[in-house]
Structure 1
């Protein structure tokens, strides 16, 4: 089967998978590609990894368009995603209404599962929050860092720790079996990121890539986007 190839932030993986059958019925094409830290995916495109479209942060898409790697006229917003807290499904949910609450939640965890703190949107934000709360050094030995949020959440689901917690994009939490969305980060620690799609300038299948973007962003798919963790 011919496929449309994607390079995407992990935040969009659940939504893309959920629409793959509808896309196949519409175009006859399958969907393939890589999902991971947005910085890594952008660098893969720069290194000429074959891709028909990318789904990354709005800021990164703008840069890639300036670099003439993405067609500006094809760019469309998919939706906003918050960085949130996660627990294993069998564990009690945690509540962090203030920065002080969050500090105590993180201090009380014996393992903290997060994505790449240098290349991923959520991971970079977690590192900033730990600094802001003044506990980066205190919890450093408990950080469990993985290449992307999806991997971090799978590892959290399988964790043998007594009091583990995770922090990544809400969409990655929702898409992971054995994990529950525990709540938003409190004011002053929150992050909401707009994810945006665009057809690459070297696309082998630009028309089909545009059709997939239309499917991902269409008004008739709003409810599906919301179930996956995207907001307007």
Structure 2
């Protein structure tokens, strides 16, 4: 069975999964590859990992175009994704209307589940927010760091902690069974990331890849993107 190879930020995994059956019906192609921290995915491409399609942050796609690793003419924004808080399905929602309240939410948690704080978009931002809130050292023993947001959220869903909290991109929270979205980070601590798709310069199936990008970004797929946690591009 033919397949397209994808290298994508974890934020887009749920959305890609939701169109996979339709794409296969149209083209006969499966979608295979890796989802994870965007920096790690970009490095996989640089190291020669086969890939037809990329879905990474807009800034990183622009860099890969300059590095002659992605086709400039193929670039399309998929949508914006908020970094947000998560709780388990059985736990009450938490409110974080400002930085002071967010600080209290983190301090009240006995386990804080986050993605890679060096290579993932949300993880890098969360580490910065914790520093700005002045609680990095205080919560260090409670910080549970995983390679990407999806993995962090799965572990949170299975956690036996009494008061766990998760923080990653909204799309990864929505796509994970056992947890629920508890709102975006408050103003001043917030992060909204634009995710962008592109065909790689080494794509084996560039035509089918462009069809997948068109499917992910089509006007009539707006409701599906919203359901997955994507806001429309500005």
| TM-score between both structures, scaled by the size of structure 2 | 0.99
Q: Distance in 2 between matches of 1:165 and 1:59?
A: 29
- 1:42-57 matches, within 5 Å, as 42-57=42-57
Matched, 1:223 2:223: yes
Mapping for residues 54-133 of structure 1, pairs under 5 Å: 54-133=54-133
Cα shift readout 1:46-69 (whole Å, capped 9, x = no counterpart): 001000010000000000000000
Helix, strand or coil for the counterpart of 1:16? helix
1:117-162 deviation per Cα after TM superposition (whole angstroms, max 9, x unaligned): 0000000000000001010111011000000000000000000000
Name 2:170's counterpart in structure 1: 170
Q: CA–CA distance in 2 between the matches of 1:183 and 1:215?
A: 28
1:87: Cα distance to partner?
A: 0.4
CA–CA separation in structure 2 for the residues paired with 1:53 and 1:104: 41
Match of 1:36 in 2: 36
TM-score by length of 1: 1.00
SS at match of 1:214: helix
Cα displacement (A) at 1:177:
0.1
Q: CA RMSD in A?
A: 0.4
User: Any gaps of 5 or more consecutive residues in structure 1?
Assistant: none
Q: Distance in 1 between matches of 2:186 and 2:195?
A: 21
Q: Which runs of at least 4 in structure 1 moved beyond 4 Å after TM superposition?
A: none
Map 1:172-191 to 2 at 5 A.
172-191=172-191
Once residues 198 and 51 of structure 1 are traced to their aligned partners in structure 2, the CA distance between those partners, rounded to angstroms, is 11
CA distance in structure 1 between the partners assigned to 2:134 and 2:217 by the alignment: 39
1:15 shift after superposition: 0.2
1:208 matched to 2:202? The reply is no
Work out the CA distance in 2 between the residues paired with 1:116 and 1:53. Answer: 23
1:184 shift after superposition: 1.1
3-state SS of 2:32 partner: strand
Structure 2's unaligned 5+ residue stretches are none
Q: Partner of 1:51: helix, strand, or coil?
A: coil
Q: How many residues align?
A: 232
Distance between the aligned counterparts of 2:78 and 2:186, measured in 1?
24
Q: Distance in 2 between matches of 1:170 and 1:2?
A: 31
